[in-house]
Every structure is written in C-alpha cells, then in structure tokens.
C-alpha cells in the first residue's frame, strides 16, 4: 500500500483553509456578548472624567430610584468586602472601584446593574460624584519633578512616583569598551503609547449559582486557567467551584491578558444578586482604561570601531506606567524582555538601566502583539543601527551584515544572558536585499533626488525571543509557563484535542489538527479542537507572546507521540508480532520486513475499544504537559521603500519585502496571515497611531475618530518570502511567529522615511510619522521628538 500524502490529510506544510472561518464569516461565532443566560442582568461602569482628583462624595440615591436598577456598587462597598483593590501581575495593586482618589481619566468609579443596558447607563448618568481636582501628571518628566504630586499615596512607603528601577549587563566592561571606541553613536527616541484595540472589547458574564455555589464566568480572556488560578488564590474561592469559559474571542493582541475591574465587579455583583451579570465594555472604555502598549523613552549610545564592528551598547529606558504598575507580563524582569535588544548582533558587551514612572494615565501596559517590551527593544535596535551606519558613513545593509551573528555562532549567549539557538541571518538579509533590488534602488534613489524627489529605503533585521517560556526566565504567580494538550482518539479513529492555549483568531482549530495529522496520520479534518473551558481543557497558560505553537504546539506533538506509543502496542497485538518489530509510517504501523502486514491508526483505535490485549487498559488517549527548555528565536528581515512628498510631508510606501524565518511552518497560509496582520499593525504604529494626553490628562485617542486603525485603503501590499531554520528544541522545529512583523516592521517604515531625509540633518522623527511631523522636520532640518503634541495654538 502507498504511504499517506501528508499534505492531502492536512498535515505539516498544508495550507489548509481555516476551519473556524466557516462560522466566523457567517456570523455564527459565539462571542461573550452572544451568550444570553436566563435571568441575566446588565452592568455598566461609571468612569472618572478627571485624571487626578480626590473623591469628596458619591451620591447614588437617584440611581437606586430608577425602575429596573438592581444594584449600585461603589468603591466603599467593595472595600467592605476587601475588594476595592486587587493585585496586578507586576506585584502592584490596582483599584477596582476608586475609594480615595481617581488616578486617570476613565478610571472605574461605580457600577450599576440593571434589567437592561439602557437602564444601567441611565443609572450611571444619575450618580453624582463630587471631585476635588488635583494636579495631573501626564509624562515621566513631570512624574519625577521635585514638586510632583504623589500619585500613589495609597501605598505605604511610596515617597515619589517611581514604580521600579532595574538594570542588567556589565557596566564596567561596557565603560571599558566605550573608552576604546573610534566612534560613539547616539540615539534618543520615544515609542508612543498605543493600544491593542481588539475589535471585540472586553466583557464578562458572571454566573454565581447560589444553590450549587459554583461560579461560572464567561469572559474575554486569553488565559482562562490563569484567571481561575487568580480567583482561587486571590479571592479564596475553592478552585473546583470556579469555571472560566473563554468563548470565541474577537482579537486579543495582549489586551485580554490582564484582570480588569469590570470582570471583578461583575463577579461580585452576581454573587450579591444570585443572578448572571453581563458586562460588555464599550469602545471608549476599552481604549481609555484597558492595557495599552509601549510608552517608553529610550536613550542609548553605541561604541563602534571605525571598521564597522560594534563594541558595546549602553541604554536607558524610562517607562510611563500610568497610575498602577499593571504590566501583564510573565517574565522575571521588571522591564520584560527589553534586554533581548541586539540579540541578533555580536555587540560585545552592554549595560541597560530602566526606571518606571507612575503617571495619571491608564494603567496596565500589555505586550501588544509582542513578548513584553520586545517591540520597543527591536525598534530601538534597528533605529540605532541605522543611525550608527550613518555616523560611520557605511552602507546600512553592509553594516548589518558584518555585525549579524554568523551561522556557525549558534548557540550564542547574548551579553544580557539569552541563549540564541539558531538562524541563517545572512541568508535572510541577502534574500531581502535581492527581492527589493537593493543596489538598483540606490541608483534610482540618487537619480530621483536630482529631480527633487525623495525616495528612501529602510531595513529592519531582528531576532526575538518568542514562546514564554522556560522557567528560568518566566512564571506567573509562581506557576511555570508550560502548556498542555489532551488527545482522545475515538473508536473510529476520529479524535478530540483539548489544549491549554486559547485562540483569539490565530487559527488554532486549524493548525492544531495539522500537528495531530503529522504525528498520527489522522486527517486534520477528523480532529475537533477545543480550548478555553477550564472544566474541560487541561491546565495551560493561555495564548500571548507567540507562545501557542512553541509551547502548546509542542505539547500536542508530545501527546500524539504518547498515543502513538500505545497504538504501537495495539498494532503488535493485531499483527501478532512483538512490539519491537513494529515500524511506523504516517498513519500506519507494520511488521518490519513485511510492510504489507500492517494496521492503520484507525484500526488500532478500534482495537483500543474492542480488541485490546489482555491486561491493557482500554481506550486511546493521553495528556501531555510541555515545559519548554528555551525560547524560540525566529528571525526577520523587513525592507520598505517609500517616497516622501516634501510639500506635505505625506509618505507613501512603494514596496515592502518581508523575509521571515520562523522555523518549520505548520500551515503556511496561517503563518502568512499572521505576518500580514503584524505588518499592518507595524504600518499603523509607524504612520498614524498613538494615544496621548493633554496637559489636563484628557485622553486623545479614546475613540476611533482619534485612534486610527488602518484600513485596506491605505495599508500597503506586502511581498512575503521565507527561510526555514528549524528550532533545535521544538518537537517539530517550529518557532513563534505571531508577533514578529509587528515587532520588526515599524523600524523598516521609519528607517525608510529617515533615509529619504538623509541629506537634511534630521536624525529622528518620533512615531507616528504623521505628515505634519515629517514636514516640520523638513522645514527645520531638526528632529521632532515626543508624542504628537495636543496643541491649542
């Protein structure tokens, strides 16, 4: 008999159509807001209009009088139950409902629960809160001023607005390297505050059953098991009486990792009322109060030899954390993975310091489509590389080429402690340069410049640590960052696979089946994938940081191999030979030396229920937990070409080439979708997207009129290429990919615009490169730094 064609059964490498799309494109998804429970009530949040103010009184009496209002909760009422504050994932505290002060515009002050959402909203409108305004602090500069008001006066021992200090690297060796440098290159920039802005906002339905005492919460979370653990550990509810269900999720991008006050309030409301309580956040609530990304100020120096070799890097980061240090990140480092910067280059040595600052802005920094702070790290790295090439008078591609790690350098320990394990960096760079036609572009660019046209080319090369994570560097609440898979093969050879990760649109239901197909030869279409219900899925740490394929994907391989080991025993029984004589080919076990004598995986499955050998436990199922030995290290080379209109500052993308090496691709189409999505976000961040605050702490960017998502109209086309360097420690050689393009992409666009301005003396325009900022830089020949100001001139 002929061997199975792996592509035909939807195995590794098959661009199988996404099975979940059948329901998504028909409007048949099942999102949190689609769920309706009998007797369900609706909750609405009253938010602070001010950035910093003392609450002098709250009068809820008029709200209680509205027919249909069932409950009004204030911070005081939460405090009576010891729930006014909750712990954050960064070991700080965050107000659930404000008791003493409001510390950012949009902060949760009260909630109203009513028969329908209109009444709940009317109830919020009827609450009278009196505030005594305090001076708002809207950036780190104000935050560390000597006369700055103390934002966190709730914290014992907190004397200023510093929320952490951290450092890594070798200060002394770095100083020595700088003393020997021929050239020292400097770069200062701001990575603006952005927001993941999933199309589905956050929400929950808490359903506490007074009869059974069981709490079920349907909610928009990327990590349902962590939520269960947090509720069990923090609220001290018995873990077996808590069920967290994460239904279909309309995008997460890190925004749906943290615990938000709305979830907590809806749970308490349901416990108090004994009825299901639904909370569905509106767009402004999502943009103004939930986890933002970035908002980091970076200053650094690079020590260089005149031949172009990097000797050392010194960096300092100031982060604007908002009112509460609520970074949703699982690394053991205060600054996340900022020190993964320059991991793809041989930089000799380095030293990084960082300081976090409280401000009167929304809290909860999240890893917006990134492993924490990797986006800032790689953006900075690639802006610094371009500046250094300019300072050296070297070609930017050549400068990268000579400093990239060579293929024989792996595994390589970075100066900041990471172990980079694999890659073909030079090959990726060359492929990208050839695809864009680098040398010809330089000729065209010079020719165009003589006619007053400004063309530019920008390169961004980077590796990043994906797949949180090995327990040396990661944990959440002390729990190690493994993931899990449980595979049950039914008697007819069909299967159900339950996984501890949780898709938010990444296509797990498609991809996971392909891993089973690859390992067992069961067609992917014969595998149902389930995620997100803590009562049924094995314990896993959820989906973020591009960890699903590196960690949960590995667990799926491992569980399938366990199942295969049992199938082998069953095959030996069926084939009447010893187990040692059974050979495996895709989907079939056969007798060594007699390939015609075999049993398919489906026949083995039937035997597991009907014809197992004496003494063997029936059934064909298993569970695997996978604790990764290292992070995965994908590599990317992104190259953009642009033309800048000097009269308006408008810039258009001419071409964009992406070369991604994310190891073995399970479903190439899904991978390409991830890359295109990430590049679209990269384009957004570089060109139009930011959240800023005026001097009073009013947020600009709390709705889609001001917070811009790119549409198909302006998003450029992307040309995708691939290189495959298998991950040495992953069972099928795959690496993370979800965030690569969003992490590495921005620098390509931004470097390209700066390249178009290379003769003007402009070294840095901070993102987003809005037309007025580019024009201003061209007018003055000077840098444009910081957030786009909220002017009133």
Which is nearer to another protein, 411 or 789 (by Cβ)? 789
Q: How far is the CB of 700 from another protein (least distance, A)?
A: 6
Nearer CB in complex with another protein: 585/706: 706
Closest CA to 516 of 21, 10, 3, 8: 10
Q: Does 790 bind another protein (CB under 8 A)?
A: yes
Q: Is 106 left (phi over 0), alpha (psi -120 to 50) or beta?
A: left
The reply to whether 705 sits near another protein by the rule CB under 8 A is: yes
**Is residue 775 a contact residue for another protein (CB under 8 A)?**
yes
Q: How far is the CB of 763 from another protein (least distance, A)?
A: 21
| CB 643, min distance to another protein, A | 13
Asked if 789 is part of the footprint of another protein (rule: CB under 8 A), the reply reads: yes
What is the three-class DSSP state of 524? helix
Residue from the set 147, 236, 617, 647 that interacts with another protein by CB under 8 A: 647
CB 264 within 8 A of CB 294: no
Binding status of residue 708 toward another protein by CB under 8 A: yes
* Listed ranges 587-595, 645-653, 728-736, 756-764: which one lies at the site for another protein (CB under 8 A): 645-653
When asked if residue 710 is in the footprint of another protein (CB under 8 A), the reply is: yes
The string of DSSP letters for 687-709 reads HT---EE-TT--EE-SSTTTSPP
* Distinct helix (H) and strand (E) counts, the chain: 19, 32
At 218 the three-state DSSP class reads strand
Q: Kindly tell me which of 442 and 709 has the beta carbon lying closer to another protein.
A: 709
Report if residue 648 touches another protein, rule: CB under 8 A: yes
Residue closer to another protein by CB (options 278, 573) is 278
Residues in 469-508 at the binding interface with another protein, rule: CB under 8 A: none
Q: Any idea what DSSP says for residue 553?
A: I
Size of the site for another protein (CB under 8 A): 33
Structure tokens at 136: 């708002």
Q: At what angle do helices 740-756 and 668-687 cross, to 10 degrees?
A: 40
H-helix or E-strand containing 36?
A: none
327 neighbors 294 (Cβ within 8 angstroms): no
Nearer to another protein, 54 or 121 (CB): 121
Compare residues 621 and 694 and give the one whose CB is closer to another protein. Answer: 694
Name, in order, each residue with C-beta under 8 angstroms of 133's C-beta and a sequence gap of 6 or more. Answer: 50, 52, 53
Residue 99's φ and ψ, nearest 5 degrees, are: -110, -50
Residue 36 as a binder of another protein (CB under 8 A): the answer is no
Is it true that the peptide bond before 599 is cis, omega within 30 degrees of 0? no
Residue 281 found at the interface with another protein (CB under 8 A):
no
Among 37, 79, 700, 724, binds another protein (CB under 8 A): 700
- Return the structure tokens found at 441: 């572009």
By CB under 8 A, tell whether 688 contacts another protein: yes
Determine if 772 is a binding residue for another protein (CB under 8 A). yes
Q: Is it true that the peptide bond before 768 is cis, omega within 30 degrees of 0? A: yes
Q: How far apart are CA 560 and CA 551, in angstroms?
A: 14
* 153 to 172: interface string for another protein, x by CB under 8 A: --------------------
Residue with tokens 């390249």: 755
Which is nearer to another protein, 62 or 721 (by Cβ)?
62
By CB under 8 A, is residue 686 in contact with another protein? Answer: no
Q: Does 650 bind another protein (CB under 8 A)?
A: yes
User: Please, what is the minimum distance in Å from the beta carbon of residue 287 to another protein?
Assistant: 13
Instruction: Spell out the residues 6+ positions from residue 98 whose beta carbon is closer than 8 angstroms to its own.
Output: 48, 55, 75, 107, 108, 109
User: Does an H or E element contain 231, and which?
Assistant: helix 224-234
Side-chain half-sphere CA neighbours of 57 within 13 A: 5
By the rule CB under 8 A, 792 interacts with another protein: yes
Nearer Cβ to another protein (67/157):
67
What 8-state DSSP symbol labels residue 15? -
Rounded Cα distance, 638 and 744, in Å: 7
According to the binding rule CB under 8 A, does residue 771 interact with another protein?
yes
* Binding region for another protein (CB under 8 A) out of 200-208, 366-374, 550-558, 764-772: 764-772
- Residues with a catalytic annotation lie at 222, 369-370, 739
Region from 7-15, 400-408, 560-568, 782-790 binding another protein, contact rule CB under 8 A: 782-790
Residue among 17, 706, 761, 785 that touches another protein (CB under 8 A):
706
C-beta of 44 vs 320, nearer to another protein: 44
With CA atoms as reference, report the closest residue to 564 among 527, 516, 531.
516
DSSP line for 736-789 = --TTHHHHHHHHHHHHHHHHHTTTTT---BPSS--HHHHHHHHHHTS-B-SSPP
Rule CB under 8 A: is residue 250 a binding residue for another protein? no
> Does position 711 bind another protein by CB under 8 A?
yes
**Where in 67-126 is the site for another protein (CB under 8 A)?**
117-118, 120-122, 125
**Which chain residues interact with another protein by CB under 8 A?**
44, 117-118, 120-122, 125, 647-650, 688, 692, 700, 705-706, 708-711, 713-714, 770-772, 775-776, 788-793
């Amino acid at each position: 008999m002929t061997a199975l064609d792996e592509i035909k059964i939807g195995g590794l490498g098959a661009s199988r159509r996404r099975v979940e799309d059948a329901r998504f494109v028909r409007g048949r998804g099942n999102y949190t807001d689609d769920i309706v429970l009998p007797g369900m009530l609706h909750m609405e949040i009253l938010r602070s209009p001010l950035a910093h103010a003392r609450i002098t009184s709250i009068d809820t009496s008029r709200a209680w009088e509205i027919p249909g209002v069932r409950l009004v909760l204030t911070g005081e009422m939460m405090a009576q139950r010891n729930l006014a504050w909750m712990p954050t994932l960064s070991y700080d505290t965050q107000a659930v409902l404000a008791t003493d002060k409001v510390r950012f515009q949009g902060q949760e002050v009260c909630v109203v629960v009513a028969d329908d959402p209109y009444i709940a909203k009317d109830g919020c409108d009827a609450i009278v809160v009196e505030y005594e305004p305090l001076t708002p602090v809207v950036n780190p500069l104000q935050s560390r001023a000597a006369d700055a008001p103390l934002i966190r006066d709730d914290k014992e021992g907190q004397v200023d607005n510093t929320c952490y200090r951290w450092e890594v690297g070798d200060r002394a060796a770095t100083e020595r390297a700088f003393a020997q440098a021929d050239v020292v290159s400097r770069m200062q920039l701001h990575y603006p505050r952005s927001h993941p802005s999933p199309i589905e906002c956050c929400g929950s339905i808490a359903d506490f059953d007074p009869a059974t005492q069981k709490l079920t919460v349907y909610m928009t979370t990327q990590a349902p098991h962590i939520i269960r653990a947090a509720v069990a550990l923090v609220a001290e509810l018995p873990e077996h009486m808590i069920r967290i269900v994460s239904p279909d999720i309309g995008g997460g991008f890190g925004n749906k990792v943290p615990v938000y006050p709305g979830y907590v309030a809806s749970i308490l409301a349901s416990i108090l009322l004994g009825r299901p309580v639904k909370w569905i956040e509106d767009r402004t609530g999502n943009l103004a109060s939930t986890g933002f990304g970035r908002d980091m100020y970076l200053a650094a120096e690079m020590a260089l030899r005149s031949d172009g070799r990097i000797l050392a890097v010194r960096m300092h980061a100031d982060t604007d954390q908002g009112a509460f240090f609520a970074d949703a990140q699982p690394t053991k480092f205060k600054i996340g993975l900022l020190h993964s910067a320059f991991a793809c280059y041989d930089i000799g040595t380095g030293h990084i310091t960082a300081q976090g600052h409280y401000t009167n802005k929304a809290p909860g920094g999240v890893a917006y489509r990134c492993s924490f702070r990797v986006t800032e790290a790689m953006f900075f790295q690639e802006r610094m590389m371009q500046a250094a090439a300019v300072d050296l008078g070297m070609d930017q591609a050549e400068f990268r080429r000579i400093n990239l790690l060579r293929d024989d350098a792996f595994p390589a320990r970075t100066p900041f402690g990471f172990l980079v394990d694999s890659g073909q960096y030079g090959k990726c760079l060359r492929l990208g340069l050839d695809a864009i036609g680098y040398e010809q572009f330089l000729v065209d660019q010079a020719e165009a410049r003589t006619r007053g046209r400004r063309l530019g080319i920008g390169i961004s090369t980077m590796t990043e640590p994906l797949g949180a994570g090995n327990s040396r560097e990661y944990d959440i609440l002390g729990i190690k960052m493994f993931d899990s898979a449980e595979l049950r093969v039914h008697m007819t050879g069909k299967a159900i696979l339950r996984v501890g990760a949780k898709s938010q649109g990444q296509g797990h239901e498609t991809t996971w089946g392909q891993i089973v197909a690859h390992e067992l030869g069961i067609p992917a279409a014969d595998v149902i994938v389930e995620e997100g219900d803590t009562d049924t899925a094995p314990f896993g740490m959820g989906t973020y940081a591009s960890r699903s394929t590196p960690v949960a994907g590995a667990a799926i391989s491992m569980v399938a191999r366990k199942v295969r080991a049992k199938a082998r025993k069953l095959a030996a029984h069926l084939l009447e030979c010893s187990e040692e004589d059974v050979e495996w080919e895709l989907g079939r076990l056969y007798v060594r030396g007699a390939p015609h004598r075999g049993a398919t995986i489906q026949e083995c499955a039937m035997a597991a229920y009907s014809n197992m050998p004496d003494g063997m436990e029936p059934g064909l199922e298993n569970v695997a937990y996978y604790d990764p030995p290292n992070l995965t290290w994908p590599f990317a080379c992104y190259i953009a070409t642009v033309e800048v209109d000097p009269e308006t500052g408008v810039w258009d993308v001419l071409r964009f080439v992406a070369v991604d090496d994310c190891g073995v691709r399970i479903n190439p189409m899904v991978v390409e979708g991830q890359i295109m999505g990430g590049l679209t976000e990269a384009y957004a961040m570089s060109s139009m997207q930011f959240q800023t605050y005026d001097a009073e702490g009013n947020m600009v960017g709390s709705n889609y009129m001001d917070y811009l998502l790119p549409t198909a109209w302006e998003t450029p086309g992307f040309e995708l290429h691939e290189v495959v360097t298998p991950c040495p420690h992953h069972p099928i050689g795959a690496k993370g990919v979800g965030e690569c393009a969003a992490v590495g992409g921005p620098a390509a666009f931004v470097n390209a615009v700066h390249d178009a301005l290379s003769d003007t003396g402009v070294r840095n325009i901070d993102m987003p490169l809005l037309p007025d900022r580019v024009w201003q830089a061209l007018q003055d020949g000077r840098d444009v730094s910081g957030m786009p100001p909220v002017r009133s001139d």
